[in-house]
């Protein structure tokens, strides 16, 4: 049976609290109508993205060890209600992938999610190393990294910010880096055993997830890819496609075959953040120059300001970055937030030429798709409110107890 617990916006502990109250109520009722002395349930804090970071904690609780007329819970082990996020990214061509990963670390610090893995959807060692460097900076050096080893999608990383990966402390052993889809299978198999929810955020190409869907039973799980996804993944939040401009969007265009397979075969809820939305939500360069000065070096700031960042030929060297990938992360972690307008259900398909279509009211027998509405549906005030949230979520100063020392044993900033 598929495990997909309900989550509520800014309330990662609500379900566990309800469970504890239910157990207490059962104990209070007893089995024969006699009054029963009930052990009080522990206090469980409700996490909120508006609270100071220092006050937030992982949403875990321990069930009370009740023993009423022979009734006792089967386990008193802590129950972890956080969804496990797999972040699938092309890490390198644009810095919104780095911004989105930093945002995920903020959500993890708040106890809203656990970062299960980062999988790079192109065969790029510098891209994998930069992802590991960012994870290390935020105090999570053990987050596993995978890459799409069979990918033919390539860029010259020497011209991208990923060329600076080894100027940051990290210890990624590329010899130990697994295929992206294999790592995804491992995370899902472990989550299924632990009865944990998985959400996937894809902000790059579709090769890893297409191979995941095509995968057969193996040493990691006796389920094939589609069945494993069905049993564990509640939602795929994907930045790709264009639903109104008629263009072949970049993440689709670079691997049309994989994108077509993904949108054809994906078995659970899919939410599309289209080109049009992120294209109108610009992360301001002024934030890069002012909001990251709590540390001498910052991987987001240096990625943004790397001299060859602007591979967009029509853009100046430093500019307000279009925030495509951030919208997918924000929706995935806080799906009940009122910040985004969302379509009714329908079906997203990718044509042979890579053009994306959303057909309201349709389905493929497996799932229902949704689209975050285009930016012109938002007022200027609403757009600015989303941008302000992005700034707050990305530029946060991590909790002091996280282990990091970006200044230790680092090469000169301008070294390659």
Range from 1-10, 118-127, 223-232, 400-409 carrying the lowest mean pLDDT = 1-10
The pLDDT tens digits of the residues spanning 136-158 come to: 999 999 999 999 998 888 888 88
Percentage of residues in the chain having pLDDT higher than 70? 74
At how many degrees (to 10) do helices 256-265 and 207-214 cross? Answer: 50
Total number of residues shown for the chain: 416
Q: What is the DSSP string of 172-185?
A: --GGGPEEHHHHHH
Contact (Cβ atoms closer than 8 angstroms) between residue 223 and residue 217: yes
In this prediction, residue 21 carries a pLDDT of 44
198-202: strand order across its sheet: 178-179, 145-147, 114-120, 84-89, 198-202, 233-239, 269-273, 369-371, 346-350, 356-360
**Is pLDDT above 50 for 416?**
no
For the chain, what percentages of helix, strand and coil (3-state, to nearest 5) are there? 35, 15, 50
Residue position matching structure tokens 């995941």: 212
Range from 75-89, 178-192, 205-219, 221-235 carrying the lowest mean pLDDT = 75-89
Range from 199-213, 214-228, 292-306, 371-385 carrying the lowest mean pLDDT = 371-385
Contact (Cβ atoms closer than 8 angstroms) between residue 397 and residue 381: no
**Is pLDDT above 80 for 240?**
yes
Distance (Å, whole) CA 414 – CA 306: 10
Percentage of residues in the chain having pLDDT higher than 90? 62
The pLDDT tens digits of the residues spanning 43-67 come to: 433 333 444 433 344 444 444 444 4
Residue position matching structure tokens 């209070």: 28
The closest of 241, 237, 257 to 249, measured between CA atoms, is 241
The pLDDT tens digits of the residues spanning 75-96 come to: 566 778 899 999 999 998 889 9
**Is pLDDT above 60 for 4?**
no
In this prediction, residue 79 carries a pLDDT of 77
Contact (Cβ atoms closer than 8 angstroms) between residue 49 and residue 110: yes
Per the DSSP assignment, residues forming a β-bridge with 239 are 273
Contact (Cβ atoms closer than 8 angstroms) between residue 167 and residue 413: yes
Q: Which residue has the higher pLDDT, 78 or 105?
A: 105
Per the DSSP assignment, residues forming a β-bridge with 360 are 346
Q: Domains (ranges, CATH) in the chain? A: 1-80 (no CATH), 82-394 (3.90.245.10)
Distance (Å, whole) CA 312 – CA 310: 5
The closest of 344, 328, 345, 347 to 386, measured between CA atoms, is 328
In this prediction, residue 3 carries a pLDDT of 44
What Å distances lie between residue 32 and 26, 28, 68, 227, 250, CA to CA?
12, 11, 11, 44, 66
């Amino acid at each position: 049976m598929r495990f997909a617990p309900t989550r509520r916006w800014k309330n990662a502990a609500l379900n566990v609290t309800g469970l504890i109250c239910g157990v207490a109520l059962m104990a209070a009722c007893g089995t024969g109508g006699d009054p029963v002395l009930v052990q009080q349930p522990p206090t469980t804090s409700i996490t909120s993205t508006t609270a100071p970071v220092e006050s937030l904690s992982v949403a875990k609780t321990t069930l009370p060890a009740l023993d009423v007329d022979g009734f006792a819970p089967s386990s008193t082990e802590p129950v972890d209600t956080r969804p496990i996020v797999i972040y699938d990214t092309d890490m390198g061509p644009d810095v919104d992938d780095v911004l989105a990963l930093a945002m995920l670390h903020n959500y993890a610090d708040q106890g809203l999610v656990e970062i299960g893995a980062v999988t790079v959807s192109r065969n790029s060692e510098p891209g994998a190393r930069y992802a590991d460097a960012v994870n290390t900076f935020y105090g999570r050096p053990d987050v596993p990294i995978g890459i799409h080893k069979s990918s033919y999608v390539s860029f010259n990383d020497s011209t991208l910010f990923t060329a600076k990966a080894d100027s940051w402390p990290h210890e990624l052993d590329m010899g130990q880096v697994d295929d992206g889809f294999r790592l995804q299978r491992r995370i899902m198999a472990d989550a299924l055993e632990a009865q944990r929810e998985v959400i996937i955020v894809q902000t790059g190409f579709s090769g890893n997830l297409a191979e995941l869907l095509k995968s057969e039973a193996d040493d990691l799980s006796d389920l094939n890819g589609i069945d494993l996804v069905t049993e564990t993944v509640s939602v795929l939040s994907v930045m790709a496609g264009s639903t109104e401009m008629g263009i072949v969007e970049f993440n689709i265009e670079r691997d049309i075959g994989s994108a077509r397979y993904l949108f054809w075969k994906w078995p659970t809820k899919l939410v599309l953040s289209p080109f049009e939305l992120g294209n109108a939500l610009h992360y301001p360069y002024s934030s890069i120059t002012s909001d990251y000065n709590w540390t001498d070096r910052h991987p987001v700031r240096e990625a943004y300001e790397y001299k060859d960042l602007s591979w967009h030929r029509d853009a100046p060297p430093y500019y307000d970055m279009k925030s495509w990938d951030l919208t997918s992360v924000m929706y995935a972690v806080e799906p009940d937030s009122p910040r985004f307008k969302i379509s009714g259900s329908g079906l997203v398909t990718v044509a042979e030429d890579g053009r994306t279509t959303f057909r309201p009211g349709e389905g493929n027998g497996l799932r229902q798709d949704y689209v975050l509405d285009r930016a012109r549906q938002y007022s200027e005030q609403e757009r600015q409110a989303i941008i302000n949230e992005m700034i707050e979520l990305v530029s946060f100063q991590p909790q002091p107890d996280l282990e990091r020392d970006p200044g230790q044993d680092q090469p000169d900033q301008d070294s390659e």
